[in-house]
């Protein structure tokens, strides 16, 4: 089994302890220097007191035994004072042969105090040091000779005590910081991580969506954003599953429907030989509709989805297409719905005739179904109006009706599949198919606001033509 790596909590703990120790080291360095300076100042203060006692003796003479007791009490070997140009030795006992170090407290700096402190702790042996400092009264300075070993031992004891206190503070601080970070950050992060892992295992299960807390910081924002993202993904996956199931069903239906349409096409071929004028009139249109249906079913079976082929664009007159749409929608013989054709005479559109037919047929059928759903008591005029005009290199077609209009809830996803159906039983595919076909032509389709009923505007631009090609064609002509 691979060794388990430290989690976020362990890393925080391992990081907190050395950081606290670094802070303690930064505190220890000036502290040890300050401890040494205080000890030396204490020695100078004791030496000043001893100097006053020794100087107050009659004739300045002190018995050797008393002088030795005084020096032992202040921890010094000698005490001297300088008055004017004269340096006077007040008391001495067991003076060393040589002085190893001189320390002048009058000119001591912070850096030199720190350096001298560590040098003293790293040395060995009992060396003699002379400490010089200011003297009371009219004296210039006072100096005392002391042993280095007692001071070094005192510095070691201070360092040990400070180290123990620092370790205790470090452990306590690390524990407090660890607990604070654990409850404030680590636990919420574990919750986010667990939610991500659980959602990854079953992304279609709404129960795996995280419930955001009421925190107002960045973690609370992350929880709310994650919850919204998971909800969107669940909704999207449900829609994808529905589309996949629908695609499979459509493929099965198209397989059988293609065979039925092929049989109907054979029957329509036989109808073409019937001499009846009415049959001769409608047979070509029936055959054309069957051919379109068979071709569309075949394309669905070939690609496994309703993938539209690239439009076969050419300049076509729009009026015959509109007339065929009216007849296919059954409005030519329906007197209950009025039909107004307001297309400019001779208007041509650079489009695929079959795809443009499907676009207009979807819009006209939607308009007819909206008019059929109106209450019988409504005395308003029921009509469908198709207009067309050209603005430069752009053809504009509009299909409008006098129905109740598009519901507000359907306008948000008007041209999305399975989203825009505003009537019971509707699949919501008509406008999505129309929008896909129009955009394949480089055009646009939109709902015109502020009109009676619903008005859909289709804008199809002409294809750009190279001038060199036109000039060559004219030259050949």
Q: How far, in whole angstroms, is CA 337 from its chain's centroid? A: 54
Strands 86-92 and 78-83: antiparallel
Q: How far apart are CA 324 and CA 318, in angstroms?
A: 10
Give 188: exposed, middle or buried? Use CB within 10 Å, 0-12, 13-18, 19+: middle
Q: How far, in whole angstroms, is CA 238 from its chain's centroid? A: 24
Give 317: exposed, middle or buried? Use CB within 10 Å, 0-12, 13-18, 19+: middle
Q: How far apart are CA 210 and CA 114, in angstroms?
A: 57
Residue 446 has a pLDDT of 92
Q: Check if the beta carbon of residue 130 is closer than 8 Å to that of residue 143.
A: yes
Q: Is the pLDDT of residue 379 over 60?
A: no
Query: What Rg, from alpha-carbon coordinates, does the chain have?
Result: 51
pLDDT: is 76 or 3 the higher one? 76
Flag whether the pTM goes above 0.85. Answer: no
Q: Which of 370, 446, 358 is nearest to 405 (CA)?
A: 370
Complete DSSP assignment for 414-446: TTSTTT---STT--S-HHHHHHHHHHHTT-EEE
Comparing 90-94, 256-260, 389-393, 435-439, the range with the smallest average pLDDT is 256-260
Q: Check if the beta carbon of residue 223 is closer than 8 Å to that of residue 210.
A: yes
Q: How far apart are CA 96 and CA 447, in angstroms?
A: 109
User: Cα-flanking dihedrals φ and ψ of residue 129, to 5°?
Assistant: -130, 145
pLDDT: is 193 or 320 the higher one? 320
Strands 348-351 and 314-317: antiparallel
Residue 328 has a pLDDT of 79
CA distances from 219 to 75, 178, 197, 213, 231 (A): 63, 18, 17, 9, 18
Q: Is the pLDDT of residue 459 over 70?
A: yes
Q: Check if the beta carbon of residue 204 is closer than 8 Å to that of residue 235.
A: no
Q: How far apart are CA 154 and CA 285, in angstroms?
A: 114
Residue 319 has a pLDDT of 93
Name 84's bridge partners: none
Q: Is the pLDDT of residue 418 over 70?
A: no
Tokens of 354: 């079959």
Q: Is the pLDDT of residue 174 over 80?
A: no
Residues 6+ apart with CB under 8 A from 165: none
Task: Kindly indicate the confidence band of residue 2, based on its pLDDT and cuts at 50, 70 and 90.
Answer: very low
Residue 396 has a pLDDT of 94
Q: How far apart are CA 386 and CA 399, in angstroms?
A: 5
Residue 426 has a pLDDT of 47
pLDDT in tens, 309-332: 788 899 999 999 999 888 878 787
Q: What percent of the chain has pLDDT over 70?
A: 79
Q: Check if the beta carbon of residue 390 is closer than 8 Å to that of residue 465.
A: no
Q: How far, in whole angstroms, is CA 376 from its chain's centroid? A: 55
Residue 256 has a pLDDT of 59
From first CA to last CA, the distance across the chain in angstroms is: 84
Q: How far apart are CA 79 and CA 90, in angstroms?
A: 6
pLDDT: is 474 or 226 the higher one? 226
**366-389: average pLDDT:** 78
Residue with tokens 């574990």: 190
pLDDT: is 475 or 297 the higher one? 475
Q: Is the pLDDT of residue 433 over 60?
A: yes
Q: Is the pLDDT of residue 196 over 70?
A: yes
Residue 304 has a pLDDT of 47
Q: What percent of the chain has pLDDT over 90?
A: 13
Q: Which of 51, 66, 38, 35 is nearest to 143 (CA)?
A: 51
Give CA angle at 265 (331, 310), nearest 5°: 75
pLDDT in tens, 384-407: 999 999 998 899 999 999 888 888
pLDDT in tens, 130-162: 888 888 767 788 888 888 888 889 999 998 998
Complete DSSP assignment for 351-365: E-HHHHHHHHHHHHH
Report the 10 Å Cβ neighbour count for 194: 11
Q: Which of 354, 465, 347, 439 is nearest to 397 (CA)?
A: 347
pLDDT in tens, 30-88: 888 999 899 888 888 888 877 777 766 655 566 777 777 777 787 888 888 887 777 77
According to DSSP, residue 182 is labeled I
Residue 56 has a pLDDT of 66
């Amino acid at each position: 089994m691979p060794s388990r790596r430290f989690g976020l909590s362990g890393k925080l703990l391992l990081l907190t302890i050395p950081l606290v120790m670094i802070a303690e080291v930064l505190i220890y360095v000036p502290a040890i220097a300050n401890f040494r300076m205080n000890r030396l100042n204490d020695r100078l203060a004791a030496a000043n007191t001893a100097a006053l006692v020794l100087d107050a003796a009659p004739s300045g003479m002190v018995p050797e035994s008393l002088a030795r007791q005084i020096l032992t009490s202040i921890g010094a070997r000698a005490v001297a004072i300088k008055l004017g140009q004269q340096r006077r030795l007040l008391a001495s006992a067991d003076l060393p042969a040589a002085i190893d170090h001189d320390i002048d407290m009058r000119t001591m700096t912070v850096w030199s105090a720190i350096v001298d402190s560590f040098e003293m702790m790293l040395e060995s042996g009992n060396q003699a040091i002379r400490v010089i400092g200011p003297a009371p009264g009219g004296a210039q300075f006072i100096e005392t000779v002391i042993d280095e070993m007692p001071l070094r031992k005192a510095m070691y004891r201070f360092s040990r005590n400070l180290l123990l206190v620092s370790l205790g503070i470090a452990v306590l601080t690390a524990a407090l910081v660890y607990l604070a970070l654990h409850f404030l950050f680590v636990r919420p992060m574990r919750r986010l991580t667990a939610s991500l892992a659980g959602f990854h295992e079953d992304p279609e299960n709404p129960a795996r969506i995280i419930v955001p807390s009421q925190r107002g910081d960045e973690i609370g924002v992350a929880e709310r954003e994650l919850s919204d993202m998971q909800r969107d993904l669940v909704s999207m996956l449900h829609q994808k599953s529905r589309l996949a199931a629908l695609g499979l069903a459509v493929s099965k239906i198209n397989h059988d429907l293609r065979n039925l349409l092929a049989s109907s096409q054979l029957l329509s071929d036989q109808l073409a030989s019937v001499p009846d004028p009415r049959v001769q009139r409608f047979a070509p249109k029936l055959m054309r509709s069957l051919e379109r249906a068979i071709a569309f079913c075949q394309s669905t079976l070939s690609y496994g989805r309703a993938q539209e082929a690239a439009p076969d664009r050419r300049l076509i007159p729009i009026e015959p297409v509109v007339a065929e749409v009216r007849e296919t929608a059954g409005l030519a013989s329906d007197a209950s719905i009025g039909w107004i054709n307001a297309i400019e005479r001779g208007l041509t559109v650079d489009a695929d005739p079959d795809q443009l037919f499907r676009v207009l047929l979807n819009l006209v059928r939607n308009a007819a179904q909206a008019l059929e759903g109106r209450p019988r008591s409504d005395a308003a005029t029921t009509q469908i109006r198709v207009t067309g005009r050209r603005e430069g290199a752009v053809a504009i077609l509009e299909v409008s009706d006098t129905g109740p209009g598009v519901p507000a809830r359907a306008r948000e996803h008007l041209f999305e599949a399975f989203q825009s159906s505003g009537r019971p039983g509707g699949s919501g595919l008509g406008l999505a198919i129309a929008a896909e076909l129009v955009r394949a032509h480089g055009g646009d389709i939109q709902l015109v606001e502020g009109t009676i009923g619903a008005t859909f505007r289709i804008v199809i631009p002409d294809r750009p033509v190279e001038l060199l090609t036109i000039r060559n064609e004219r030259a050949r002509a």
